[in-house]
Structure 1
Amino acid sequence: MTFSRRTTRITAVAGAAAAFALLATGCSSSSTPATTGTATDPITLTVTTFGTMGYDDLYKQYEADHPNITIKATNIDTGDNAKTDWQTKEAAGAGLPDVQAVEEGWLSAVMQVSDQFNDLSAYGANDIKDRWVDWKLQQATDTKGRIIGYGSDIGPEGLCYNKTDFAAAGLPTDRDAVATLFGGSSATWDDYFTVGAKYKAATGKAFYDQSGFLWNAMVNQQKEGYYKADGTLNVDGNADLKALWTKLSTATASGLSANQTAWDWGKGKAFTDGTFSTFVCPGWMLGVVKGQVTSAGGDASTGWDFANVFPGGAANWGGSFLTVPTQSKHPQEAADLAAFLTDAKSQAAAFGVAGTFPSVTAAQTDPAVTGTNALSTFFNNAPIGQILADRAKGVVAQFKGPDDSVIQSQVFGPSIQEIDSGKADGATAWNDAITLLNQLVVNK
């Protein structure tokens, strides 16, 4: 199981063995200093991204505005697979692109070898550093004060729900009434599970697709997650996390989980046939939902909507950065491209395509974000940009340790499957996760 963002394209998902395989952890020795080409030399810039970032049209625009530049883009399906790809090439000392997208969940691993990335301050970062929300820039600044990444999106979370399914259960369908149903600004996970129990009693169906995404949100809502701010592990003996796990596993045992495989919803069918009726949605996930529904033959009439509420309060899931590895032979041009892809106009355009909520403050109030677009039309004309801006209030950057993504995917992933399938109760699954934590992280 992986909790990283995924592309909306429908491709075969990796097998369970690949999902839980240990990620490579090597790093390269110092690479040969890169050279900078002139502004008029014909060059090719390589870019590696993952999931759904909404850059395709922006690449075309940049090439049109820069006739000497050709962009060769590679998109990897998940953030976890992108991390493995980066680590493999970093260890080999060759093969990294000019612009490398990095996910928040493994940024800390990148920071451990930050000298293998260009300090963007040398290529204009100091002139544009005020464009981002403060904590986004801080995340991409290493201990030496080097800015190694330009922030793309952030992941404030709201609640996707299917109004058709809610109507069948006798629940409110208007998004404001739904927000109130879940507790409004004071919404708790207890409120969410209580509504879920009512829904199941009325329909006999599950409430959420699987427990992993809920667990991910619960962890991200904490002031400190899998790691403390000082970099020490914060899982074993963490009473708050264990209490949340017990709450989740109890709800799951009552039948509220549809026991779906993360990122595999039967080519979108589970989103259209009432398999589940709620879904946790950071901005970028809205594009995933739309892609899944349309792949299964559905459309806006399928009934998915987006409410300005989230159990447990403000939460951020994901968010990415564009970096320039020192392996790049064209660091200035690569930095210029990264700056373009993350400016206010570009972030607003990407949001309209993929739902990636901007980390640039000026873009958050852009009409392309706050107004109507293809995504908002799909979600019953929900003001998704305005909702996400509201959901972003109170979000703070949680420290992510070097094995944060490993703990999410490989430590708790198997235990999530245990409670969803009913193979283990919550207490047993928690203990199994701690065993894996010791094997994969503590004693690696």
Structure 2
Amino acid sequence: MKFSRRTATVAAIAGTASLALVLSGCSTGGDGGSGDEQITLTITTFGTMGLDDLYAQYEADHPNIKIEATNIDTGGNALTDWKTKQASGGLPDVQAVEEGWLGSVMEVSDTFTDLRDYGADDIKDRWVDWKVGQATDPDGRIIGYGTDIGPEGLCYNGKLFEAAGLPSDRDSVAELFGGDDASWDKFFEVGKQYHDATGKAFYDQSGFIWNAFVNEQAEGYYKKDGSLNVEDNATLKNFWMQLADAQQAGLSANQAQWDWGKGQAFVDGTFAVFVCPGWMLGVVKGNTESAGGDASTGWDFADVFPGGAANWGGSFLTVPTTSKHPKEAAELAAWLTDTQQEVAAFQAAGTFPSVKAAQTDAGVTGESDLTKFFNNAPVGEILGSRAEGVVAQFKGPDDAVIQEQVFGPSRTALDAGTADGETTWNQAIDALHQLVG
């Protein structure tokens, strides 16, 4: 399952911002709209994608182009917005779509421009192969350019670990969780040690833990043949019951997803670990700082993840066929996902590049505001390590519905302690029957 891919530090849909700003750099497949005709391109993104500062650079290099950008707070709200506008014909020139939407997107892939018409075949080698594969429909049409991928490591608060008598340097923390053999059993075991020592919760809430587990399975909510893979899935149910046990043991802080008391829970010791795909690093930093914290608050990032390699999230920039300027829109999407722009997005938000050259760029592997915040952790190198072995999981048409509406309410009830594991699992299955089939 993939809860809303990322969030901004506010919880409201950002209004449309007309940005008279811009960028430098080469465009792909033509002059990038460098003629005399004045063109306005609209783009809709969501959460913390790290693209906002790039629009000004592009406009500066293409004086005839004006960018009107809308950013939506979470992936869940962005999915609703996309579905509404997909039905009404009101989509922007460039639409960001999230990995978890791909099942729904591919059902209407003919409503997206085939980017091969604008040079996609000439640049497709810039991305990791599986990212291009995700954006290729059954007819071989490439309908999206990859922004980031979401390899996962563990964020943890070193000061809180020290206070609990646990090791706090990142290499020792990685070994604490099992190193290359890290498991969820070990994760919960360490969580109980922490709780016994402090009386406090270990992680913020169960939903992200559940999400991480589902994503690292060979098959998630859907099997590779497109059939549902939930109701009789003993692996998923057993882990759900393990989450219920952990909640009863006090390991969950029962935080509201994408809120955390306006970031306060990141600075007041409410919880000590946080599952972190690359883009979540910016969320941790942003929420900590919004609540008055900084690097001294103690957050760090370890090269370890229970269960091994896992990918959570990753987005694409698409061009709906309703765009009146598909060539210019495709060029903007290609530019935003080129090497230096993906490096800049990483530095802004921790979004780990899907472009191979960007992954090894010094701007990703070297020092940045993120490394400084996370106790000088080499975050780019760690994410590169965590990306090894990641395999894209098949996402079915209702993957996002299952994530948000099937398991979301059950997760809330589980963390609140108003229903036990068996009851909340059954509630989720009932919702599955009603909403999906």
Same fold (TM over 0.5): yes
SS at match of 1:165: helix
Unaligned runs of 5+ in 2: 14-31
Equivalent in the alignment of 1:248: 243
User: Partners of 1:207 and 1:38 in 2: how far apart?
Assistant: 54
Deviation at 1:89, TM superposition (A): 1.1
Aligned pairs for 1:39-50 within 5 A? 39-50=35-46
CA contact 1:2–1:262 (8 Å) conserved in 2: no
Equivalent in the alignment of 1:56: 52
Q: Does 1:131 align with 2:135?
A: no
Q: Does 1:235 align with 2:223?
A: no
SS at match of 1:227: coil
Task: Give the partner amino acid of 1:141.
Answer: T
SS at match of 2:419: coil
Equivalent in the alignment of 2:334: 339
Aligned pairs for 1:69-108 within 5 A? 69-93=65-89, 95-108=90-103
Which one of 385, 392, 396 corresponds to residue 390 of structure 1? 385
User: Partners of 2:239 and 2:385 in 1: how far apart?
Assistant: 25
Task: Give the partner amino acid of 2:101.
Answer: W
Equivalent in the alignment of 2:254: 259
User: Partners of 2:383 and 2:53 in 1: how far apart?
Assistant: 23
SS at match of 1:101: strand
Task: Give the partner amino acid of 1:430.
Answer: W
SS at match of 2:53: helix
Q: Does 1:321 align with 2:321?
A: no
Deviation at 1:115, TM superposition (A): 0.7
SS at match of 1:255: coil
SS at match of 2:168: coil
CA contact 1:10–1:295 (8 Å) conserved in 2: no
User: Partners of 2:247 and 2:281 in 1: how far apart?
Assistant: 24
Moved more, 419-428 or 139-148: 419-428
Task: Give the partner amino acid of 2:58.
Answer: Y
Which one of 355, 375, 384 corresponds to residue 380 of structure 1? 375
SS at match of 1:334: helix
Identity among equivalent positions (%) equals 72
User: Partners of 2:266 and 2:385 in 1: how far apart?
Assistant: 26
Moved more, 237-246 or 36-45: 36-45
SS at match of 2:424: helix
Q: Does 1:204 align with 2:199?
A: yes
Deviation at 1:6, TM superposition (A): 3.2
Deviation at 1:419, TM superposition (A): 1.4
Aligned pairs for 1:273-292 within 5 A? 273-292=268-287
Task: Give the partner amino acid of 2:285.
Answer: K
Deviation at 1:2, TM superposition (A): 8.1
CA contact 2:7–2:75 (8 Å) conserved in 1: no
Q: Does 1:182 align with 2:177?
A: yes
Residues 262 and 2 (structure 1), Cα distance of their counterparts in 2 relative to 1, 3 Å cut: farther
Unaligned runs of 5+ in 1: 14-35
CA contact 1:287–1:353 (8 Å) conserved in 2: yes
Equivalent in the alignment of 1:17: none
TM-score, normalised via structure 1 length? 0.93
Aligned pairs for 1:383-422 within 5 A? 383-422=378-417
User: Partners of 2:196 and 2:332 in 1: how far apart?
Assistant: 53
CA contact 1:286–1:355 (8 Å) conserved in 2: yes
Which one of 289, 295, 308 corresponds to residue 294 of structure 1? 289
User: Partners of 1:167 and 1:12 in 2: how far apart?
Assistant: 36
Which one of 215, 222, 227 corresponds to residue 217 of structure 2? 222
User: Partners of 1:204 and 1:12 in 2: how far apart?
Assistant: 34
User: Partners of 2:341 and 2:434 in 1: how far apart?
Assistant: 43
Tell me the matched-pair count.
420
Equivalent in the alignment of 1:441: 436
SS at match of 1:321: strand
User: Partners of 1:8 and 1:377 in 2: how far apart?
Assistant: 20
Deviation at 1:90, TM superposition (A): 1.2
User: Partners of 2:124 and 2:394 in 1: how far apart?
Assistant: 21
Task: Give the partner amino acid of 2:47.
Answer: G
Q: Does 1:423 align with 2:418?
A: yes
Deviation at 1:38, TM superposition (A): 7.6
Task: Give the partner amino acid of 2:61.
Answer: D
Q: Does 1:118 align with 2:142?
A: no
Deviation at 1:12, TM superposition (A): 5.4
Structure 1 runs (4+) deviating above 4 angstroms are none
Cα deviation digits, residues 98-140 of structure 1 (max 9, x gap) = 0000000112101100110000000010100001111100000
